[in-house]
Every structure is written in structure tokens, then in C-alpha cells.
Amino acid sequence: SDVSFEEFLKIYLNLQGKAGEKPGGHKNSWSFLKASTTTLLHTINQSEKASFVQHINRYLGDDPFLKHFLPLDPDSNDLYELVKDGVL
């Protein structure tokens, strides 16, 4: 059965929390994400996204597999769709 992205995050964060536990049950200081988090938010400004898209287009544009996906339009959400679909 399919797992939604949010369900994946819950499972991943739960496993990360368990991996960060010391034998005494204490977590390492780097385990800052909690399993109760259901939504992660990261803000990317337009110029940051445009630079990243330009980099992908430049360095992966000749890739035989990606060539029918590229070039990406920096003004669209193409980048996020390819990442969400697992292409990138």
C-alpha cells in the first residue's frame, strides 16, 4: 500500500529518535526533531530556488534520463514536483 509523505515523515522521525537514544534511554543532543512533528516547513525564497534550478539545468541538462524533464522553469513548481516524484 502507498504511504503518504506525512506518514513517511512520522515513521522516519520515529526511527531517527530511536537511533539517537543512548543505552540509558537518553537521546543525543543532535536528535532535535520530534516524532510528534507532522509537518515540516522550510521557506525558500524565489532567488534561492532560481539559483538551484539554474544549477540543475546546467549540470544535469545532458543527462540521458533527465533530459525529457529538463530544463526546469525557475518560475514554476517543476523542481518540487520532480523531487516529490523521486526523479531528483
53 vs 18, more confident: 53
Q: What pTM, to 2 d.p., does this model score?
A: 0.50
Separation between Cα atoms, residue 88 and residue 86, nearest integer Å: 5
Please name the residues in contact with 11: beta carbons below 8 A apart, sequence gap of 6 or more.
3
* pLDDT of res. 32: 47
Between 48 and 16, residue with greater pLDDT? 48
pLDDT digits (tens, 9 = 90+) for 2-45: 778 777 778 877 777 766 565 555 544 444 445 555 566 666 78
* Distance from C-alpha of 23 to C-alpha of 25, rounded to nearest angstrom: 5
DSSP classification of residue 21 = B
Q: Report the amino acid identity of residue 56.
A: I
Contact by Cβ (8 Å): 61, 67: yes
Please state the domain extents for the chain.
1-41, 46-84
pLDDT band of 84, cuts 50, 70, 90 = confident
**Model pLDDT, residue 20:** 58
The predicted pLDDT at position 73 comes to 93
Instruction: Name the percent of the chain lying above pLDDT 90.
Output: 20
